[in-house]
Chain A
Amino acid sequence: MDQLNVDVLVVGAGAAGMYASVSAAKSGADVILCDKSLISRGGATVMAQMTVAAAIAHQEADHWTHHLHDTIQSGQGLCNEKLSYELCKNAPNKILEMRDWKTDWANDNARIRQVLAPGHEVKRCCYVDFLNTGPAVARTLRGEVAKHKSIKRISGITIIDLVVKKARVVGAIGLNTETGDFISFAAKAVVLAAGGLTQLFARNSASKNMGGDSHALALRAGANLMDMEFVQFFPIGHLAPRLVGMDPIMWDPFRYKLGGKLLNGHGKQFIENYGGEDGETYKVGRDLAAYAIIKECEAGRGSPNGGAWLSFQHLNKQQLEDAFGPIIKKLANNDIDLTKQSIEVAPIAHYHMGGIEVDERMETCIKGLFAAGECVGGANGANRLSGNAIPEAFVFGDIAGSNAAKLKAASRTLSPQDSEVALSRVMNDLLPPASSNVTSQHETSRRLLHTLQNLMWKNVGVLRDTEKLQRALNEIRRFRKDVFLSICPKQGTAFNTSLMDWFDLRNSLLCAEAICLAASERKESRGAHQMEDIPFKSDEFTKNQIISQQNGYLVSSWKAVQKLDYDLEAKSLAVI
């Protein structure tokens, strides 16, 4: 097996991974930045549409302590406030640093434009262009990464497992997808930055790669996960007709600007029946909208594809074009004319608040193993504030990268034998010998993934209950024990899609079990975790849930929430 030696290995090349690489390189470390897909293109960053929250106070008096306050409020008692503190305090510098690196934040000359987003008390959200913030951010960081000779970028590497010796990470085993060869990486530190896991749910806004790789790698390496039960569902994701070339969460800006009406399958407004308000202006909260749509569907009053109608038919062509000209054109390419038809929307899995347990240096309980970006748990508690995902990627990437680089003086201890042992453990545990022919005729990784996605959607989605969660947990355990091992793809060929899917599924099944277990242990309703049979919040659950792997089994335990003393400081407008 080939071996590459490096100070810091960064897994995942979205905003968090790229920022981590740059910071590690600036601190003098050699870095390998790898991604399953292409550098800067694969994860959630390129799909981010608009808002990036940071208290730069360019439009309105603000102070980062107020951003912190809003973040903690939104987290409903469960934020690791030390992480939220790092996020909010450092976000402004990152926005300005990105501007220095030529991110073209929308601006009026020296003043960056900021808009109001739900949950923020002031105009705090920067953006590049409507629906275009993510690609611009990715481009900037990609350019910045390329400036550092000490960062090697490798596309098409799937990290299969980390190698740990005496509670210290010493490297990783990867699959070179283009050749089918396995490679070992000897590293002094590893930063996991491979994003979230919303792909686990049938309806999602995820890219193909967001199946929980970071979480699964961390768990198998001996690190802990926290608050895995908290998955954020975006209430009005695009459902039908088929719309290509656009991200499915695109309707939110439409509603902010133009209002629009949510109608049930009978063409009637229904939000009012659930205590909400939904008229010419967009007032209904996300939780209520998601709840109401699902309840209408359960009562047989859903739209044909199982959602609700969103109508802008009270507006004329000119009004639509004035508000969203270029997007109206894209809709026309999809044969969608909003003056003549409504579209169907439904809740979709959009972000995961839970993740890998880290300290404020982004290090896990495994020495040298760091995490950054969406895969980190804790900063957003039980519900994420709009606009916090991208600054979290910047800030946590920076912290993880610079702290990982501090280990560059350590010695590298991964021997070729260690790598072979680690690889053979994966292979012996999971792959049958080449001579055997037990490949299931009926099941494939793709089909089992879809079964898992539907199971998670139906039982662990927006509305949960004790019985549904238990059913899902039993099913997932059965998949892991009985079904998964019978799906044995062949090894050793170039761009082996079935093998890649199989490794993805291995991680997704583990994460799904962690989410189900965590959800069934949190016997209350709070934030994004809503139990129909326990529809109230309990003080006894104002604590964080830890999921760890012990002797091959997932185990839940609890710990006190990390609180922080801070004062709200006076808001002021930035002097420019």
Chain B
Amino acid sequence: MNSETEKTLNAELDIFRGSTGTDSKFETFNVPFQQGASVLDALIWINDNLDETLSFRYSCINANACKECMMLIDGKVEYACLKKLQGKKSTLEPLPNKTLIKDLVTDIVPPKEKYAFSR
């Protein structure tokens, strides 16, 4: 049995905001979390509590099955659902080698699965 009570920690996330053709910037969000929470948990928390317009891809939430939540976390390519939050500052950016759509969303759709291809 776990005897220790869950302690609330705080993560400071610098998140890339912007879309193609607009000015981009980094915006800082402070997110409370419990030990073990993932970066994706924090992004969902931001959507729920601070800014519903922050965009990122995800579907399966924590099974690491959909593989949609890949992004750059402190300069490294990671799945946001697997990356644990640290009680310190972290920087989140869209994948660098993909076309930016908005915020942390890039064009990861295979060319033959794109709307433009079907037209």
Contact = CB atoms under 8 A, between A and B. Distances in A.
Contacts of B61: 207-208
A46 B81 CA distance: 15
A501 B2 CA distance: 37
A176 B117 CA distance: 13
A86 B44 CA distance: 41
A247 B65 contact: yes
Interface in A141-159: 146, 152-157
A47 interface: yes
A183 B34 CA distance: 42
B115 A243 contact: no
Contacts of A341: 1-2
Nearest to B112: A153
17 contacts: A32-B118, A37-B66, A38-B66, A38-B109, A38-B113, A46-B66, A47-B63, A153-B118, A155-B109, A241-B35, A242-B36, A243-B62, A245-B82, A495-B101, A497-B52, A501-B47, A501-B52
A4 interface: yes
Nearest to B104: A495
Q: What are the 9 closest A-B residue pairs judged by CB atoms, nearest first?
A: A242-B36, A495-B102, A46-B65, A152-B118, A247-B63, A41-B66, A153-B113, A245-B64, A155-B113
Contacts of A501: 47, 52
Nearest to B19: A494
Interface string B94-105: 000000011101
A26 interface: no
B60 interface: yes
B57 to A, nearest CB: 8
Contact of B60 (A47, A154, A446, A450): A47
Given A154-B114, A244-B62, 8 more contacts: A4-B119, A37-B59, A46-B66, A208-B61, A242-B38, A244-B41, A304-B5, A493-B19
Interface centre among B47, B67, B117 (most CB of A within 10 A): B47
Contacts of B105: 495
A203 to B, nearest CB: 12
B107 interface: yes
B86 interface: no
A342 interface: yes
Interface of A: 2, 4, 32, 37-39, 41-43, 46-47, 134-135, 146, 152-157, 176, 178-179, 183, 207-209, 241-248, 267, 304, 309, 334-335, 341-342, 444-447, 450, 489, 493-498, 501
B1 A154 contact: no
Contacts, number: 145
A41 B110 CA distance: 12
A435 B81 CA distance: 39
A446 B62 contact: no
Contacts of B72: none
A208 B59 contact: yes
Given A178-B115, A207-B59, A445-B52, A267 B36 contact: no
Contacts of B36: 241-244, 334-335
Nearest to A32: B118
A208 B81 contact: no
A178 B66 contact: no
Interface centre among A42, A208, A242 (most CB of B within 10 A): A242
Contacts of A267: 1
Contact of B115 (A183, A247, A445): A183
B38 A244 contact: yes
A208 B84 CA distance: 20
Contact of A444 (B52, B64, B81, B102): B52
Nearest to A497: B55
B48 A446 contact: yes
Contacts of A176: 115
A497 B66 contact: no
Contacts of A246: 62-64
Given A154-B118, A241-B2, A245-B82, A495 B68 contact: no
B58 interface: yes
Contacts of A38: 59, 66, 68, 108-109, 113
B54 interface: yes
